[in-house]
Amino acid sequence: MSVGVAVLGSTGSIGCSALQVLARQRDRFRVVALTAHSNAELLERQAAEWRPAYVGIVNGGKGEAGRGEGAACLVEAATRPDVRIVVNGIVGAAGLEATLAALKCGKRVALANKETLVMAGELVTQAARQGGGEVIPVDSEHSAVLQCLAGRPSGELARLILTASGGPFRNWAPERVAAASPEEALRHPTWRMGKKITVDSATLVNKALEVIEAHFLFDVTYDQVEVVVHPQSLIHAFVEFVDGSVLAQVGFPTMELPILYALTHPERVPDGGVRRFDPVAAATLTFEPVSDQSYPAYRLGRAAARSGGTAPAAFNAANEVAVELFLDGTIRFGRIAEVIDAVLAVHRPSDAGSLAEVLAADADARRIAREAACS
Ligand code: NAD
Ligand code: MG
């Protein structure tokens, strides 16, 4: 009997990669639910190919029978009895409720939607414990950590080192970076992804989000999570154990491998679709420290992580607003970090133990971010 999978955000970069992986694994998995925000055309094409029992669109439904509409379709898709694994490829805070609901129903969430683990890490962890669900990371760095850990308990773990490409502005002068255009920010050197995460990779906010993600996934302190710039994106993470041994996971950059692993973990299955690794083609691997000066938003994210409570939620919300305003041409690239800074300067971290508190911090931060961006 094949395993039922729901793909949330099926029209996005992660969603499309997930369907590509699933197309090669039809004997193991079947797609039973698809959801998207507003790309009805692509969603219809996917629905015609996969014939899932459930199709949901957040925005732009036509009121057809058997089709879910509005934000509620995400939870509907994620909690269906015929779904065992939810691939959450939604971007931003909108993916939170579906993750929580799926975990409470005991499902595996293959999580790409890192923003929601950052804003509500405690709630997500708690929901998994309560309902018997599990979060398996899709993010390549965290998949690498999980693969290196190979079931060893967190007490044997000394340190995680996540790699970062450094983004398109790694060698640019600060004044030039501050004035960079959306087109320039969207030219990522090694990965093809959605717009929001591509901008996050240019500011290195993505790596700050990933540090917080690692903290909640692997039960490590922030001092145990380091980041190194590795422009070739071939090593995805290093794991250092208490005896000093270091393991790393290596591969040409593709999300299909971590997506497949999130579906099959702890097992591995044959997959002919991924480019085989070749050390000669990989040639040179280089590593450099993260320059705090070049990536002020990264520094702010690490500080929010250390503050804890609702501070990571405020950091995430401020960044979501700032990136949106940057992409629509309202603010310059250099303003993204300034907007985040303005929000964190006035945010008073409180307990992040309830959904109401997290959502209030998120809404507050968004309002302050918009004000700061306009001033
Ligand atoms: P994307 O913009 O390509 O796709 C986003 C998807 O989310 C779309 O299918 C869209 O329909 C859906 N969506 C957007 N807003 C929504 C809303 N309000 N309600 C419901 N659905 C909504 O983004 P992406 O690059 O696929 O990234 C998705 C998530 O995966 C992000 O959290 C990102 O950080 C993470 N991630 C992506 C990659 C990658 O290679 N693309 C790698 C690691 C992690
Ligand atoms: Mg990543």
Beta 157-164 vs 67-69: how paired, if at all? Answer: unpaired
pLDDT confidence of residue 60: 81
| 372 has pLDDT over 90 | yes
pLDDT confidence of residue 227: 98
With beta carbons less than 8 A apart as the criterion, state whether 93 and 317 touch. yes
With beta carbons less than 8 A apart as the criterion, state whether 231 and 331 touch. no
Strand ranges in the chain using DSSP code E only, listed in sequence order: 3-8, 29-36, 54-57, 67-69, 85-88, 108-111, 134-137, 157-164, 225-229, 235-241, 246-250
**Is the C-beta atom of 338 inside 6 A of ligand 1?**
no
pLDDT confidence of residue 228: 98
Banded pLDDT at 292 (limits 50, 70, 90): confident
Ligand 1 atom at minimal distance to the Cα of residue 10: 9
Q: How far apart are the first and last CA of the chain?
A: 58
| 53 has pLDDT over 70 | yes
Banded pLDDT at 27 (limits 50, 70, 90): very high
CA 113–ligand 2 middle distance (angstroms): 11
CA 137–ligand 2 middle distance (angstroms): 10
pLDDT confidence of residue 65: 67
With beta carbons less than 8 A apart as the criterion, state whether 310 and 118 touch. no
pLDDT confidence of residue 28: 98
Banded pLDDT at 67 (limits 50, 70, 90): confident
Ligand 1 atom at minimal distance to the Cα of residue 113: 32
pLDDT confidence of residue 175: 93
Among 162, 197, 362, which is best to mutate for testing ligand 1, by the most ligand atoms less than 8 A from CB?
A: 197
| 210 has pLDDT over 70 | yes
pLDDT confidence of residue 195: 97
pLDDT per residue as tens digits for the range 157-198: 999 999 999 999 999 999 999 999 999 999 988 889 999 999
**Is the C-beta atom of 188 inside 6 A of ligand 1?**
no
pLDDT confidence of residue 330: 97
Give the pLDDT mean for 277-290. Answer: 94
CA 199–ligand 1 middle distance (angstroms): 13
With beta carbons less than 8 A apart as the criterion, state whether 247 and 148 touch. yes
CA 281–ligand 1 middle distance (angstroms): 30
pLDDT per residue as tens digits for the range 350-364: 999 999 999 999 999
Helices 296-307 and 335-346: angle between axes, nearest 10 degrees: 20
Pick the ligand that lies closest to the CA of residue 112. Answer: 1
Domain map of the chain by residue range? 3-137
Ligand 1 atom at minimal distance to the Cα of residue 74: 20
- Proportion of the chain above pLDDT 90, given as a percent: 94
CA 210–ligand 2 middle distance (angstroms): 7
Other Cβ atoms closer than 10 A to 143: 25
Among 87, 91, 143, which is best to mutate for testing ligand 1, by the most ligand atoms less than 8 A from CB?
A: 91
- What are the angstrom distances between the C-alpha of 40 and each of 14, 37, 57, 62, 232? 17, 8, 7, 10, 36
| 270 has pLDDT over 80 | yes
Nearest residue CA, atom 39 of ligand 1? 193
CA 81–ligand 2 middle distance (angstroms): 30
Pick the ligand that lies closest to the CA of residue 191. Answer: 1
CA 190–ligand 1 middle distance (angstroms): 18
**Is the C-beta atom of 141 inside 6 A of ligand 1?**
no
Q: Which positions ≥6 away from 337 have C-beta within 8 Å? A: 203, 296, 297, 300
Ligand 1 atom at minimal distance to the Cα of residue 195: 2
Banded pLDDT at 61 (limits 50, 70, 90): confident
**Is the C-beta atom of 331 inside 6 A of ligand 1?**
no
- What are the angstrom distances between the C-alpha of 163 and each of 143, 250, 337? 12, 11, 21
d(CA 211, CA 199): 17
CA 113–ligand 1 middle distance (angstroms): 7
With beta carbons less than 8 A apart as the criterion, state whether 137 and 168 touch. no
With beta carbons less than 8 A apart as the criterion, state whether 19 and 50 touch. yes
Ligand 1 atom at minimal distance to the Cα of residue 36: 11
- The closest of 218, 221, 108 to 152, measured between CA atoms, is 218
pLDDT confidence of residue 30: 98
**Is the C-beta atom of 121 inside 6 A of ligand 1?**
no
- The closest of 328, 324, 327 to 369, measured between CA atoms, is 324
The token pair at 202 is 């240019």
d(CA 323, CA 330): 10
**Is the C-beta atom of 336 inside 6 A of ligand 1?**
no
- Proportion of the chain above pLDDT 70, given as a percent: 99
pLDDT per residue as tens digits for the range 242-259: 999 999 999 999 999 999
pLDDT confidence of residue 59: 93
Q: Which class is domain 3-137?
A: alpha beta
CA 63–ligand 1 middle distance (angstroms): 24
Ligand 1 atom at minimal distance to the Cα of residue 255: 40
Which H or E run contains 196? helix 195-203
**Is the C-beta atom of 37 inside 6 A of ligand 1?**
yes
Count of helices and strands (H, E) across the chain: 17, 11
* Average pLDDT across the chain, whole number: 96
